[in-house]
Each structure stands twice: as structure tokens, then as C-alpha cells.
């Protein structure tokens, strides 16, 4: 199996079509609308290849607000492994590559929304911060929303403290 890191602007049409097909297989009712991304394009993709695309992760780099502080973060999104290949450690290998990518960045934190044991086993910690985000359902700007942090997990990448009580404003759509 080969793990590939590819910048979004270098993702050719053939690879993007494979990514879209895999994502549709993993998330058939999630509203991707024939795209290989949900609400907005990401910055980097981590792809696992073995006789075709068998795994996908997307990574976003941007500044968010944690309370009054502006914090650079990496966000993990659109994590999927081909249903016929689950249980083979593909997601774990991609996550290792994604963590290395995040640690090599200037970001202070690595965030995701999920609850898989794989994330906790690799150093992510569940958080209950309230959230603010821009609803981009259907790849359209809709409304600003606030609510509980459903599945927020955080990995510190430097010594910047995380405020467990602060509002986390993701300064855009969920990733």
C-alpha cells in the first residue's frame, strides 16, 4: 500500500474522481453532491492506494478563535476507508501521515469531529467546548450557527494551552 500526500491544487481530475467515488461509497447520504469535498475544498489530501484508492483523509489549515485568542489549526475531514478494506489498518497509516503533516506545520492544534477509538489512541482528546460555525450545506453560504461540540477532538501541537470552556469559533464552515 502506498500513502500519498497531495496538495489540493495538484489533485488531478482522475484522482479527484476516484476520491469522489470513494467518499460517496463511504458517505452515501452526506450531501457531497458529486464532489470530493463537503462544504469547501481543503489544502492537502492523504490518499491510500492499493489496486485503486482505498483510503482518504482531507486536511485544512486555517486560523480559528478559541475564546479571544486566534489560534492556527489543522483540521481533519472526510476520513474514509473502502468498506471492503476496513480493519486492515489503512486509516491508522493515513492518520500517522496526517499527524506528521500537522506536526510539521506552524499550527498549534490539530482538530477533528469524530469519536473513533483510533483518534484517542493516537493522542486526540475529546472536548466539550461550545462551537460557532458557518453552515455551508450544499456548498452554499447559509447561516452562522452555534451549538454543542458534537465529537470535537483536539491534539496539541505545541505548548499553547487549550481553554476547555471557551467558545470555539471555527471562522468558517466545519471541515
CATH number for domain 2-169, candidates 3.40.718.10, 3.20.20.370, 3.30.310.50, 3.40.630.30:
3.40.630.30
Q: Which residues 6+ apart lie within 8 Å of 158 measured at CB?
A: 108
pLDDT (tens, 9 = 90+) of the chain, 175 residues, equals: 999 999 999 999 999 999 999 999 988 876 666 666 766 788 999 999 999 999 999 999 999 999 999 999 999 999 999 999 999 999 999 999 999 999 999 999 999 999 889 999 999 999 999 999 998 877 788 899 999 888 999 999 999 999 999 999 999 888 8
One DSSP character per residue, the chain reads -EEEEEEGGG--HHHHHHHHHHHHHH-TTS--TT-SSSSS--SEEEEEESSSEEEEEEEEEEEEEETTEEEEEEEEEEEEE-GGGTTSSHHHHHHHHHHHHHHHSS-SEEEEE---HHHHHTT-EE----EEEE--GGGS---EEEE--TTEEEEESSSPPP-TTS-EE-SSS--
CA-based nearest residue to 78, from 62, 98, 103, 63:
98
What is the per-residue pLDDT for 137?
79
Q: Give every CB contact of residue 38 below 8 A, 6+ residues apart in sequence.
A: 30, 31, 32, 77, 78, 136, 139, 174
Q: What is the dihedral of CA 82, 84, 86, 89, to 10 degrees?
A: -90
Prediction pTM value: 0.91
Amino acid at each position: 500500500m502506498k500513502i500519498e500526500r497531495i496538495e489540493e491544487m495538484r489533485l488531478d481530475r482522475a484522482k479527484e474522481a476516484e476520491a469522489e467515488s470513494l467518499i460517496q461509497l463511504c458517505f452515501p447520504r452526506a450531501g457531497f453532491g458529486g464532489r470530493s469535498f463537503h462544504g469547501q475544498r481543503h489544502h492537502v489530501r492523504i490518499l491510500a492506494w492499493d489496486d485503486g484508492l482505498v483510503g482518504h483523509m482531507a486536511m485544512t489549515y486555517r486560523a480559528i478563535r478559541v475564546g479571544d485568542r486566534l489560534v492556527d489549526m489543522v483540521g481533519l475531514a472526510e476520513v474514509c476507508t473502502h468498506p471492503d478494506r476496513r480493519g486492515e489498518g489503512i486509516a491508522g497509516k493515513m492518520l500517522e501521515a496526517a499527524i506528521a503533516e500537522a506536526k510539521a506545520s506552524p499550527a498549534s492544534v490539530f482538530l477533528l469531529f469524530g469519536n473513533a477509538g483510533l483518534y484517542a489512541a493516537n493522542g486526540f482528546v475529546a472536548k466539550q467546548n461550545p462551537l460557532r460555525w458557518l453552515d455551508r450545506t450544499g456548498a452554499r453560504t447559509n447561516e452562522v450557527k452555534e451549538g454543542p461540540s458534537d465529537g470535537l477532538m483536539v491534539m496539541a501541537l505545541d505548548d499553547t494551552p487549550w481553554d476547555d470552556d471557551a467558545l470555539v469559533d471555527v471562522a468558517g464552515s466545519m471541515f
